[in-house]
Amino acid sequence: MPNQNIKKTIIDLETSALEAWHNGDPSPYLDLYSKDFTYFDPAHERRLDGWDKIKELYEGMRGKVKMDRFEMINPVVQQADGMAVLTFNLQSYSGETVWKENCTEVYRLEEHDEWKIIHSHWSLTKPPMD
């Protein structure tokens, strides 16, 4: 698969999952996550390990996330040997409120030429300083 196609594929997968997520549906992300998935999120003190843990977290949030729109800012895909790393800034809008986050997604090419996310790392763009 040519380099540009991989970049487009990865960004399209992420965009589709974000669109659903911003409408309360975590299923496209759950479908993208590998069974050995790991997850860092600013709302959790420790890393979550495994698909079952993220499914439990996301099912508790199903239907509760609703954003008016989002922007994926400056997405970059770096890839080599069946792996791809997507980094971007995300701005999500709900009325006058804007959430700004940094995201790193590590994708792995698995069976049947399917890209799966093996690690996801989210952080606040401007975290509060204690």
What is the rounded distance in angstroms from the CA atom of residue 92 to the CA atom of residue 47? 23
Q: Would you state the pLDDT for residue 114?
A: 95
pLDDT (tens, 9 = 90+) of the chain, 130 residues, equals: 457 799 999 999 999 999 999 999 999 999 999 999 999 998 889 999 999 999 999 998 888 889 999 999 999 999 999 999 999 999 999 999 999 999 999 999 999 899 999 999 999 997 666 6
Report residue 19: phi and psi, to 5°: -60, -45
In the chain the beta strands, taken as DSSP E runs, fall at 33-40, 48-49, 69-80, 83-94, 97-110, 114-124
Q: Would you state the pLDDT for residue 60?
A: 86
- 58, 52 Cβ separation under 8 angstroms: no
Domains in the chain: ranges and CATH: 3-124 (3.10.450.50)
